Amino acid sequence: MYLVLTAMLALNVSTDILNGFVMVDDSLFSSISATEERNANMYKSFEQQKNDKPEKYAIPYEEAMEMRQKSDSLFNYIAKFKRDMAVLAIGEEKVSEHNYTTGYAVRGLGGTSNLDVTGQYGIVQGNGEIMQKRIEEYRDFLLSILAKDQNPMNQAEIHKMRDQFNMLFTCDSLYNNHEGKMDTWVNGMFDGMVLNATITVLSKMQNDIRATEGQMIQYLMGNADAMDLRVNKLQAYVIPKSDYVMRGAKYSAKIILAAIDSTQRPEYYIGDQRINDDGLYEVVAAGSGPKKYNGKIGVLSATGDMDYLPFEGSYTVGEPSATISNLDMNIMYRGFDNKFSVSVPGVSNDKVSVSATGASVSRSGSNWVVKPTESAKEVVLTVMANMDGKNQSMGSNKYKVKSLPKPSSFFVAGGESLSEGFIKKKDLLSNEAYIEASYGPDGILDLPWKITGFDIVIGNNAKHSSSGKLTEEQKSLIKNLPSGAQVTLQTIRAVGADGKTQSLSPIALRLK
């Protein structure tokens, strides 16, 4: 049986891991800012095209404006959602002092390791269900725009976009690490989650909204221009697969024209170097922080000359990070299967591996089981992730190794659990009475111990039991005892989950 520890779960996430979430959130903020600037430029270009040729662009422009309003609405709702959780954790005054009004950054904000706020605000107060509904409405709105397009030439692109939106804005069941099972989207998102991590996940959702908004602007503009190529009005755009990549991973972006003439093939350049004819730009990310690049697209004009349209692009490189949470305790026990949950943001579980020094490691469903060796005093866990076919270290943590602590002994009868004190004779002689070994109602551990024997001593008489229950011989010593007589249960022995036998403290009882 695995150890279950919820009261001290906050101790399982190290300061380094919490700081890792801050780094990811800061990087997402940079990505969001860059995407918003790019979207603003596309809206200006779209508006100019609508003003120049309203008969062609008026309707798609109106759709773009409605899409912009709905994107802003959901984006701002998530920003308020994050801020309200922060206020619930540390108070309005501290949040305002932190200037947290944008709903973005978490750096320097205290109380973000809080484990109660996400469940209270998202589940108990019902705000998670409201968010789920708004996300689903936003997804359905995007799909409704795509459904209007019946152009057979666009169906392949529409199919890809539909799958992408269903993946990004799904609210299907999630795996609830806190409960260890599949659960509703709301419970999976907010039950037992560290506030710092929840804010970062919501920032990622805001980043998805802005990236999707940019993709839809390009789609609506390109759809209006699908039947004609106006070289003097061409605008170049960059479509990244992701604005955020980890160091060592690959940044990938598609460089396109808003409208394409199928009779000619544009030339694509990064700087002055020509790249492939598909406009696919890939580079291995090195160093962390924001990255910028520029280039040009060459198209053949009506005069036969090559016209070049400049473009700029940007992306953010983040440091690798992994979340390691010990589901049992913030230490490991020798001779015991310690259960861990390990995940890497942006990497599927099947591409994550764990190794250890001073312990054996095995996978158990979606979790990992770590068993320290008998001589180990410290265990180091290392997380690796397979990114683009290459294994990369995502971080490591150290854990102290201890033996299982000795439990206390209790006599359970008549609805009570006694370590000493008065007891009714009928309760002491009950067939349902027994001795148990545990850490008590206030203990932080909950694991099985088996009583292998004990003695009852009354005066000079002693009788032995090879289990946790009284034998008939032991009961015969008690039946004729008067009120006030003392009954001592001693030489109590128990075997724990590590297979070791412990001698427990005696239980002194007195008959009422």
- Higher-pLDDT residue of 368 and 390 is 368
Q: Which CATH number describes the domain made up of 323-402?
A: 2.60.40.1080
- Distance (Å, whole) CA 246 – CA 485: 73
Cut 0.75: pTM above it: no
- Distance (Å, whole) CA 29 – CA 381: 30
Q: Return the SS3 of 470.
A: coil
Of 111-120, 236-245, 371-380, which range is least confident? Answer: 236-245
**Three-class SS string for 413-465?**
ECCEEECEEEECHHHHCCCCCEEEEECCCCCCCCCCCEEEEEEEEECCEEEEE
- For 291-301, what is the mean pLDDT? 82
- For 299-310, what is the mean pLDDT? 70
pLDDT of residue 396: 86
Among candidate residues 139, 129, 130, 76, the one with its CA nearest the CA of residue 104: 76
- Higher-pLDDT residue of 406 and 133 is 133
Instruction: Please give the share of the chain, as a percent, with pLDDT higher than 90.
Output: 34
Compute and round to an integer the Cα radius of gyration of the chain. Answer: 32
pLDDT of residue 512: 86
pLDDT of residue 100: 56
Res. 138 pLDDT band, cuts 50 70 90: very high
- For 457-473, what is the mean pLDDT? 91
Res. 472 pLDDT band, cuts 50 70 90: very high
Res. 307 pLDDT band, cuts 50 70 90: confident
pLDDT of residue 5: 30
pLDDT of residue 6: 32
- Retrieve residue 460's tokens: 């000079």
pLDDT at 228 over 60: no
Q: 408-511: same fold as 323-402?
A: yes
pLDDT of residue 413: 92
Q: What is the DSSP code string of 15-53?
A: HHHHHHHHHHHHHHHHHHHHHHHHHHHHHHHHHHHHHH-
- Retrieve residue 131's tokens: 């968010």
pLDDT of residue 331: 84
- For 248-262, what is the mean pLDDT? 66
pLDDT of residue 321: 64
pLDDT of residue 206: 93
Residue 335 contacts by C-beta under 8 Å, 6 or more apart in sequence? 371, 372, 374, 403, 404, 497, 498, 499, 500
Res. 298 pLDDT band, cuts 50 70 90: confident
Res. 7 pLDDT band, cuts 50 70 90: very low
pLDDT of residue 141: 95
Domain extents in the chain? 1-227, 230-320, 323-402, 408-511
pLDDT at 497 over 50: yes
pLDDT at 231 over 60: no
Instruction: Please give the share of the chain, as a percent, with pLDDT higher than 70.
Output: 79
pLDDT of residue 322: 65
Residue 466 contacts by C-beta under 8 Å, 6 or more apart in sequence? 452, 453
Q: What is the DSSP code string of 49-70?
A: HHHH-HHHHHHHHHHHHHHHHH
pLDDT of residue 306: 77
Of 29-33, 126-130, 247-251, 409-413, which range is least confident? Answer: 247-251
Structural contact between residues 384 and 355, judged by C-beta atoms closer than 8 angstroms:
yes
Res. 292 pLDDT band, cuts 50 70 90: confident
pLDDT of residue 109: 62
Q: So what CATH class is 408-511?
A: mainly beta
Give 393-412 pLDDT, tens digit per residue: 888 888 999 888 888 999 99
Of 158-172, 405-419, 435-449, which range is least confident? Answer: 435-449
Structural contact between residues 280 and 252, judged by C-beta atoms closer than 8 angstroms:
yes
- For 322-347, what is the mean pLDDT? 75
Of 9-23, 371-385, 423-437, 491-505, which range is least confident? Answer: 9-23
Q: Are strands 244-246 and 250-257 parallel, antiparallel or unpaired?
A: unpaired
- For 250-268, what is the mean pLDDT? 69
Q: Return the SS3 of 118.
A: helix
pLDDT of residue 197: 82
CATH topology of domain 230-320: Immunoglobulin-like (2.60.40)
pLDDT at 2 over 60: no
As a whole number of Å, the end-to-end CA separation of the chain is 38
Res. 211 pLDDT band, cuts 50 70 90: very high
pLDDT of residue 68: 95
- Distance (Å, whole) CA 337 – CA 328: 9
pLDDT of residue 176: 60
- Higher-pLDDT residue of 106 and 48 is 48
- Higher-pLDDT residue of 379 and 103 is 379
pLDDT at 255 over 50: yes
- For 123-141, what is the mean pLDDT? 94
- Higher-pLDDT residue of 473 and 441 is 473
pLDDT of residue 73: 95
Average pLDDT, the chain: 81
Res. 471 pLDDT band, cuts 50 70 90: very high
